[in-house]
Structure 1
Amino acid sequence: MKLVPKKESQAKDNQKEMKKRTDTGQPKNKGVRGWKEKFDSIIDKLPKDINPSRSVGIRLFLIFFIAIMFFVLVIGLLSYQMAKNTIEKNAETASQQTIVQTSQKLDIILQKYEETLQQVFLDDEMQKAIRDASLATSSDYDRFTTSNQMRNRLNSMTFSSKGVVAVYMVPGEEGLIGPVTSGSADNTFVNEIRNEPWFEDMAQTSQVRWITAPNDNAGGTQIFRLVRSVQSVSSMKRFILVADINLEILNGYLQELNLGNGSKVQMITADNVIVGSSVEGEHGQKSEFTLQKKEGERSGSTRIKNAQGRTVLAVYNTQENSDWTLMGVLPTDQLTKDARGILVTTFISMAVVAAIAILIGMWMVRMIARPLVQLMKLMDEGSKGNLNVRMEQKSKDEIGMLTVSFNVMMEQIMQLVKQTNDSAQDVLDTAAELTQASNKTAISAKEIAIATEEIANGATSLANEAERGNELTENISRQMDHVISANKEMESSARQVERSSQQGTEYLNELLQKTSVTGEMVNALTEKVDSLKSSTSSVLKVLDVMQNITQQTNILSLNATIEAARAGAAGRGFMVVADEIRQLADQSRQSITMVGEITDNIQKEMNETVQALSEASPLFQDQIKSVKETSQIFVSVQEQMEGFVQHLDSVTLSIDELNQSQSVLSEAMSNVSAVAQQSSATSEEVASLSSEQETVGEQLVNLSNKLENVSNGLKESLSKFSV
């Protein structure tokens, strides 16, 4: 029976469905909605007892759909992350370069203020006014005049330098002249300037400092200050110059610097106080951003949190002149704003890919699930007994191969059922014959069991006797083992004595050689000491000659002194030389006397050494003789031990032969005992097997009956299959 759906019937069903939808006003399948309806129709055609989630087609569709969506999502997120990192890196590099360039520009501007302030102080008129004011004879009028001259020079700087609000010149020492100011001076600052924490340090050495100023200054203008300590060339007096610079100069440069939307630029001190900012009203306040700079690092970038807890990128550079830090801050989310388009594109792509994946999945379900459902129905028919079902092969893929395999399987099952029917009849016939043979076997087994039991009794008595003989043999074997062990210990001790004798002989030979060498060394040492005595005598002769030379030198210096005295004043220099020669002669005489005493001591010690060596030489000869006699004794002991070892070897050979004979006897007795035990065990086993055979015979009879019943049941079960 072939359950194959026909194409004509499918076409008719589709036409009816289309006509039905047209009549009811329902639109035809279009787009995703049409594919969804087709998918639902495929699910409806599945057997009701199968869960759609367990279908192979549905699983393949889910795997394909999830894999495609996962890969698209991963690629999109990776692209977004890579673009985000690239944009952040480029923005960070560009911002860092901008901050560094702006910082260098501000360094140049601040350096210009420092140079201008120094030029005003070193001006000839300013130096002349300072010199006149420092004169002690100057009257109050003169000092007033010089103060006006200084104020005029400071006014020239105030009016000619852009951004300079006021200039102060304060002497480092009180009592010289009062403070000189120009421009919109802050009188409170002038009166309290000597109480500033930096004033005393600035009054001692030449320094330049940039400091912040409070917002409530007298002029009402926000400023920051340049403080410079300089020394007058003419009077060598030190003055503190202070210039108030309008903060708008600094803020103007900072406001021109734009790092992006939401960015902010600040100039902060080492205490994190804002000097200037691109945002109005932050002067003199604590910065909300805290930089964590490494030691010695002047430029860099980092990511920090702002007051709202958002992550921002901070780029900074430390000023060369003021040691302030120029910091630019911009939100990181503004940097990656353009990269969000990649995420939008990713989600759109996911939607498009999801639609395509659904269409492909529907096609996969239709291509795989329908043939499998059809095959399942045919197998259900086969399980009910209809073995004639076959499936038509429509494709040459794995499903087509599965169709061929199903048809071959059904054909082989049908042949197997036929063969099983024939075999069941043969088994039924054989069961009857097996029952008769089993009855005969059971009778023979009873007779064999009786005879085997008698054989087992005789084998048991033989095994007992063999066991007693084996015990006696083992006792003799243990005694022989004790004898062999004692003999081996004697042999080991004898060989140890022999080795010790050989070693002692070798040691004595070495001692004899070393003693001979020592005697020769003593003789050589005696000869060398005699030679050294001769050398010492030569030294004494040389010392006598040097003693004579010293005496003659002394006489010569005495004559030179006499001649110098006769010469009077002209011979004084020669008298000094003669005196030095005489002192040198005395020192030489003392040294020669000391060397002579040392040489006498050496000669005395050498005589004692020669006498000691002469006394030691006979002792070495006696020692050599004793060592030779001891060596002969060790040689005699070694020869006797060699003979004793040879006798022990012959005794050991005899004991080994006796032990081998004893082993053969013990092995023979063990074999007899083993054979007897084996015969007894075999007899018991045969008896047991006979009993088992009798039991098996009875079981065979029962099995034959069961086999006959099973054959009948099998035949009845196979009768329901139509072949």
Structure 2
Amino acid sequence: MRRFKFKSIQARTLLTLLPIVIIALVGISVLSYQFAKEKLNTEINTNANNTLIGLNESLNSQLKQNSMIVSSLAAATGELGNNLDIADYFKLTERWQMLSPFTYGVGIFFAENQYEQGVKYRSAYAIRDGDKITTTTEYDDPAYDYLTQPYYTATLNNFDKIYYTEPFTDSVSKIKMITAGKTIRNNDGQVLGVALADISMNNIRDYVNNLKIGTAGRAILVSGKGEVLASGRPEIVADMPLKDEKIEGMDTVANLINKNQTGRTVVNIQGELNTVFYMTVQETGWKIAVVLPDSEIQQPTQELLHILIIVGAIGIIIISAAILWNNIGMIRETRKVVEVSRKMAVGDYSARLSNQRADEFGQMANEFNKVLESTSGIMNHLNQQSTMIQNAATEIAQDSTMAATDAGHNVKELQQMESGAELQLKAADESTVAMEEMAIGVQRIAESVQEVSEATVIIEQKAEQGNQHLNKAVQQIDRAKEVMDEAGRMAASLNERSQQISSIIDMIQSINKQTTLLALNASIEAARAGEAGRGFAVVASEISNLANNVGDSARLITEQIVSMQAETSAVVNGMKDGSTQVTDGIIMLEDTKQMFASISGDIESVAGEIQEVSSASEQMSAGAEEVTASLNNLADIAKSSAVRAASATERSTQQSQSLQQLQASAQSLDAVSDALNELISKFRT
């Protein structure tokens, strides 16, 4: 791997230290950013969750206060019973209405005939209008019929527990509200009616809508049935189910808060990630949620990242400036050393470094000046010694010139001798090689001629013997063919005789059949003759036995004749195959004769080759004569070389004397060199 070379200390420092500083600052910034990001996210999530808890507690507190009003009003009305007139009940509702500014209206609704016999509807209802409290009897209208209203009937059915209705719009006040109701009982436990405390949804909506978490976080209040009661997000429409809102992601939020009492999740709403915190309002079962955009959560971390980038950039600039400022002094001192070194390189040792620093550069200047002074002294001494060396060198040069002249003549003579010797050596080598090759060639030719001659005689003998053997073979094959033809004729005759014997056997078998039939007839007649024909019966029996013996013999003869016929046929077929093979042999012998004729032609060709060999021998004889001439030339060259060698010997003697004088001068130069080496050995390289 090739090492990178820097052109200046400034570049080396910046390219080595600055990346390390940048990496360190980036690493510190990244770690700070990650740590701060986690802390800020945790803090923001905690604040959002605390805001949600605070909102929930605030709503629960208002609702509990409302519940306390209706509970205490029901208890007070039960204690008083129906002994008061309607004006006193109005005062009672006004007094309880003043307990909570959050409560819209407080009322007492008597059951039928419980306020007064024969009075079906009687109520006392106090309404808050800002700081003013008014009363009304509009709910006593029979057309309204509060006895059948859901808040009334559901409160009675809930026994003595406080019942909260779902949000509804009151047909009398035209205000959307929720009602908390509780059954009024007297000391005897008799139901007198219900006490009500109404909360206007406008107050709740204003409270929820005005709630902000950060800059973009908003709250959403959802009823137990999933209907939006209030929302700080203007795109969410109130009084409709949250899941039916035409906003991307709101159906997911609706499903989550409907299934769980409390929790936290991240949902993509209208293409932007939002963190949703939600809880349940215990008094009513409502769900309140805080929707906080991730951009709101990430904003502090982004601002922190920008600050870290700016601080890091400023830090890099400051560090780079510090490095550059620190390097300026180092570079200045280094350039001084470089300038003095350049003067030393051209032989000027008079320059000195200024010493105004107490650091390492100042120490280096002192030591460098010492080196310059020591070197200057050495150079002066060397100058003196070099003069002596120059004088000695002049004498050596003169002697060397004379020696070089003589040596030049010797070189020329010796070069000529060397050239002649090389020619002589080359000619001798060529002659030797040529003679060896000729000797080998002649020997091989002689051997080849002898072998060819012997082979020719043998081939002629073998050809003659082959012709003789062929003639004998032809004669033997002709005789064998005659014998096989005669045997074939005899086998054919034997086959004809066997056919004749077959006809005779057929005749014998016919006679045998007739004899057997005759013996049978004789036996029959003898039997008819009785005692007179007994002797004839014996004769007939013998004839019958004779006929049987003749029949058996005829069968045996027939079997032998059939076997003989088969063997005769095989012999005849073999004779035919043998005759065919003999014919093929005769053809092969004719081919062999032709081969021997070809051999005779080859023998004639070999005789021609022998003639060519004789011609080659004559050429080799001529080559031998050329070799003799080359050897004579070598002798002449050798004589000339001997004369030049004598002249070179004389000049070499004179050169030897000059070299002795040169040796004396060299000894003097050696002494001077020893002195110089002693001075130079004081330096360490």
For Structure 1 versus Structure 2, the TM-score category normalised by the shorter chain is 0.3 to 0.5
Larger RCO (alpha carbons 8 Å, 6+ apart):
1
TM value normalised by structure 2: 0.35
> Greater Rg, structure 1 or structure 2?
2
